[in-house]
Amino acid sequence: MSNAVFLQLLTGLQLGAIYMLIALGLTLIFGTLGVVNFAHGALFMLGAYLGVIIAGETGFLLAILLVPPLLFLIGLLLERGIIQHFYDRPHTDQILVTFGIAIVVQEALKWIFGANNIPFPTPSWGSGVVMLHEYLPFLDGIVVYPQWRLILVVVSLVTVLALFGLLQFTRFGLVVRAGMRDSEILRFLGINIERRFAIVFGLGAGIAGIAGLFGGPVTQVYPGIGMAYLVPSFLVVVIGGMGSVPGAVLAALLLGMALSFSAEYSNIQQIIIYLIAVIVLLVRPRGLLGKKGVLE
């Protein structure tokens, strides 16, 4: 494998990682609560802004400890305050109210911090480059890669595995998965499904916080990034199959690779992910790993 191809693969992985982190929370919330969350990009953006502020004041390590739990809390409050009243309303109403929330968050951030990009420096322990050729003997010559982008990939993988483990191997995950199938029965069994739904929404928001914190130094931080990343992340969810976590991972990788390998043709790169979405949905209307019955 030539160095150029290897670097393109790595870049594809890294581009996919950020979409995957955002799409993960989206698909979790959709699969569990049936809510299409147009405010998810805004939660991602809140994560980035909180990250810049906390990292700037106290250092990045404390931001890692604080930002995801803060976003979890914000998600919990959002669900209890607004979203829970929309479970019995039409899907379009859920889309509309979360769209409203997205506007409020975006405009509030613009008001407080201004419309310009806020520089988000990577912490000193992550701002160097990695000498890839020292670890990978098949590369010839000197091959370096920004350390932070590799950290982003690792963080994404750890988050996916942790979420997968939580859903598959814990009692909480079992109940949530059962709730996705048939929340009525669970209610009859005396299980407080509402509380778990609130926690799932919080979890989705918390993952958006991780995405904002680790992605912020790569994506820039200004009031438009929420919406800018929401649309591709929606496509990741739709291509992967609504509500499917493995599907989201697969689709994010696909789009990341497409973006990376089309980089030489910048005109094509601008629209490649939309083209892929159209093709995939024409061939497989439910997405790559979408299940029958979801959303139909």
Task: Single out the residue of 17, 18, 36, 258 in contact with other proteins (rule: CB under 8 A).
Answer: 36
Selection from 259, 232, 252 nearest residue 40 by Cα? 232
Task: Single out the residue of 126, 139, 281, 291 in contact with other proteins (rule: CB under 8 A).
Answer: 281
Q: By the 8 A CB rule, do 28 and 197 touch? A: no
CA distance 144 to 137: 13
Q: Which is nearer to other proteins, 20 or 255 (CB)?
A: 255
Q: Does 242 bind other proteins (CB under 8 A)?
A: yes
Q: Which is nearer to other proteins, 103 or 139 (CB)?
A: 103
Q: Does 67 bind other proteins (CB under 8 A)?
A: no
Selection from 276, 221, 296, 290 nearest residue 52 by Cα? 221
Q: By the 8 A CB rule, do 189 and 21 touch? A: no
What is the CA angle 235-195-25, rounded to 5?
Answer: 20
Q: Does 266 bind other proteins (CB under 8 A)?
A: yes
Q: Does 255 bind other proteins (CB under 8 A)?
A: no
- The continuous run of DSSP H or E covering 131 comes out as strand 129-131
218-237 positions binding other proteins, by CB under 8 A: 227, 231, 234-235, 237
Q: Segment contacting other proteins (CB under 8 A): 48-56, 66-74, 245-253, 262-270?
A: 262-270
Task: Single out the residue of 99, 113, 145, 164 in contact with other proteins (rule: CB under 8 A).
Answer: 99
The DSSP 8-state label assigned to residue 146 in this structure reads E
Q: Does 165 bind other proteins (CB under 8 A)?
A: no
Task: Single out the residue of 1, 4, 282, 283 in contact with other proteins (rule: CB under 8 A).
Answer: 282
Selection from 28, 22, 63 nearest residue 44 by Cα? 22
CA distance 121 to 119: 6
Task: Single out the residue of 134, 271, 279, 284 in contact with other proteins (rule: CB under 8 A).
Answer: 271
Selection from 128, 105, 132 nearest residue 13 by Cα? 132
- Rule CB under 8 A: which residues touch other proteins? 36, 82, 85, 89-93, 95-97, 99-101, 103-104, 107-108, 111, 227, 231, 234-235, 237-238, 242, 266-268, 270-271, 274-275, 277-278, 281-282, 285, 295-296
